[in-house]
Copies of this chain bind each other. A is one copy, B any other.
Amino acid sequence: MIKVVIIGSGNVAQHLIKAFAKSAIIDVIQVFSRQKKAVTSLLDSNKITDNFNNLAEADLYIIAVSDDAIAKVSSQLPFENRLVVHTSGSVSLDALDKKNRKGSFYPLQTFSKKAEVDFKQIPIFLESKIETDFELLKSMAEVISEKVYKINSEQRKALHVSAVFVNNFVNHLYQIGNEICIENKVPFEVLKPLILETANKVMSLSPKEAQTGPAIRNDEQTIASHLDFLSDENQKNIYKTLTQSIQNNGKKL
């Protein structure tokens, strides 16, 4: 059994605890959590600690805390030369204290507490300084996911920035669509098939091939009428910025 200690009790920590619990080769022997309540439903309470000095000996320590807490947590670990990884998309390995062996174990997904997650489909990106550490991370990742990749810190950052565009920013555009619907007494409900179809389309077509609409058609009349329709300055600004980007991008071809 690979013995794992998870430090943290947020969304990522909880989903990892659940995913590892199904495995026959991974044993989550302990969870460090300042808020015991967050994880009591997931494992025996004697496996939960809020004291760094009580951390058990394990093959791997996974720091699943907020980005800005990673450095501090890693410096507080009361041991040396063990394998310590974080789960962040944007934090460099350098943030981890050098007294331990470093790595990252980054599941690329938007975790929310409510939604159940099929971990098998979630890509996991691994990085480590030492080859044997990588092998351990890989064997663990492959237990819970079918999609395991080795990347460096720069690529991980690229992925994280891309994810901000295709997840955070996309969701914000959904919200603007929702606001326009509310203002005009149209149910947001009716946009849902379009939202799904838009996402499904790029499963088989490239986004460039899938692009439609007034911007790519250079339909200036419709663009002008849409800008005229929008009363919110922020919405107008986003409309202009993205329309121009689509048009300039088309010219690049």
Contact = CB atoms under 8 A, between A and B. Distances in A.
Contacts of A157: 225-226, 229
Nearest to A246: B172
A17 to B, nearest CB: 20
Given A185-B155, A249-B172, A161 B229 contact: yes
Given A190-B159, A194-B166, A199-B196, A210 B180 contact: no
Main secondary structure of the interface of A (DSSP, over half): helix
A165 B176 contact: yes
Q: How many copies does the complex hold?
A: 2
Contact of A180 (B161, B191, B194, B212): B161
Nearest to A230: B161
A139 interface: no
26 contacts: A67-B221, A108-B193, A109-B193, A112-B201, A123-B190, A149-B190, A155-B185, A158-B186, A159-B186, A159-B190, A161-B226, A162-B180, A165-B177, A165-B238, A166-B191, A166-B195, A168-B214, A169-B173, A170-B198, A174-B202, A175-B249, A177-B207, A178-B208, A198-B199, A234-B245, A234-B248
Interface of A: 67-68, 90, 108-110, 112, 114-115, 121-123, 125, 147, 149, 151, 154-155, 157-178, 180-181, 183-186, 188, 190-208, 210-216, 219, 221-222, 225-226, 229-230, 234, 237-239, 241-242, 245-246, 248-249
